[in-house]
Amino acid sequence: MDWLRTAEMLANRIAKNERKLGPWRRREHIHAYRVYDRDIPELPLVVEVFGQELHLGSFAFEDRLSDEESDARLECWSEAAARALGLDPEAAYAKRRRRQKGLAQYERVASESHGSEVVEGGLRFGINLSDYLDTGLFLDHRTTRMEVQRSASRQRVLNLFCYTGAFSVHAAGGGAASTTSVDLSRNYLTRAYENFERNGLLGPNHRFVQADVLSWLDGALERGERYDLVVCDPPTFSNSKRTESDFVVQRDHVALLAAVARVVAPGGRIYFSTNFRKFELDAALEPLIGRQEMTPDSIPADFRDRRIHRCWRIEQDLFLREILDKRDREIRAQFRPPERDERRRP
């Protein structure tokens, strides 16, 4: 198929999706959304709008094009997408996803940096469409972020694997008594701090902690810290020189939830989420929290891909530590890590 023909197909589909999403977007005041989600199998792209800007991510797919040709074709698609939305093609940023290892997915990909802002739920978020594969705001969690904003008033909020702190900003904007944002990456914590700053939310009750989540949770328990609302959205897999061992969500989610449960105050709530497509909630957890899965409600209307993540709203006092700890030891004895290509976040 020639590029111009596929560019036209893409533009038509984007224009159609935009017409469909328009009333919902205006009603909900949504400025950052996914307008194309691999709708056409021959065009494996994701197109997201951030205010007046556009972000295109293409997936690795089999063809005989050189890197230069692939980039030129992506440029052509990117222009078509911008025109279909009445946006300036210069404000469209296109990136090709290559196979990634570990934390490499989160590294810089271009030398020219272009940062801007987008509004979500009345709050401002810094985004970087030019030099990171991930924009700084994962749109699939918009609905859950809004729920956190609505329910955070006077709560002590803990955001684990906080990335650029979007959940924490929503919590603080919703009147949280305090927020604690934990991530391994100094760079992402800086962006979280900047997100608080751009909303005038900085203050002594909002802290940013660079640490490995599992080790930090042990310390928090010892220090007697307790939280009313915890967001826990770990990566599928991560390894770092800073941690004693790799993190593998399938293997480690029982240990993680057990550690989280220990720092949750009575009557508290945990949002637990994963993007690992092959994720299976551990058999010991299924009867305890299986019914608290909120996935269908947590996936926003602009996501055609209803398997983008799974999410649980866990609202019980988890006096389950012994069960969880025992189960964690059994899993570690048997576990096989996921294959590299199963780990990708779309």
Ligand X SMILES: C[S@@+](CC[C@H](N)C(=O)[O-])C[C@H]1O[C@@H](n2cnc3c(N)ncnc32)[C@H](O)[C@@H]1O
Tokens (6 digits) for 295 = 């996935």
Residue 23 CB, shortest distance to ligand X, in Å, is 27
By C-beta, is 39 or 212 nearer to ligand X?
212
Least Cβ distance, residue 2 to ligand X (angstroms):
37
Rg (CA), the chain: 20
Q: Are 35 and 18 in contact (CB under 8 A)?
A: yes
Q: Considering beta carbons, is residue 36 or 167 the nearer one to ligand X?
A: 167
Q: Smaller CB distance to ligand X: residue 228 or 233?
A: 233
Residues in the site for ligand X, rule: CB under 6 A? 138, 141, 161, 163-164, 166-167, 183-185, 188, 212-213, 233, 235, 238, 243, 247
In three-state secondary structure terms, 146 is helix
233/328 with CB nearer ligand X: 233
Q: What is the DSSP letter of 30?
A: -
Q: Which is nearer to ligand X, 77 or 161 (CB)?
A: 161
CB-wise, 155 or 274, nearer to ligand X? 274
Strands 178-183 and 206-210: what pairing? parallel
Q: Decide whether 49 or 158 has the Cβ nearer to ligand X.
A: 158
In the complex, least distance from residue 223 CB atom to ligand X, rounded to whole angstroms? 18
Least gap, CB of 299 to ligand X (angstroms): 14
Least distance in Å: CB of 323 to ligand X? Answer: 24
- Evaluate whether 89 touches 82 at the Cβ level (below 8 Å): yes
Distance of CA 318 to the CA centre of its chain: 25
Kindly provide the b/e burial profile for residues 155-175, where b requires at least 16 CB atoms within 10 angstroms of the residue's own CB: bbbbbbbbbbbbbbbbbbbbe
Distance CA 112, CA 21 (A): 32
**Cβ 239 to ligand X shortest distance, Å:** 8
Cβ partners under 8 Å of residue 280, min gap 6:
250
CB of 78 to ligand X, least distance (A): 25
Contact 171/148 with Cβ under 8 angstroms? Answer: yes
62 three-state secondary structure:
coil
46, 119 Cβ separation under 8 angstroms:
no
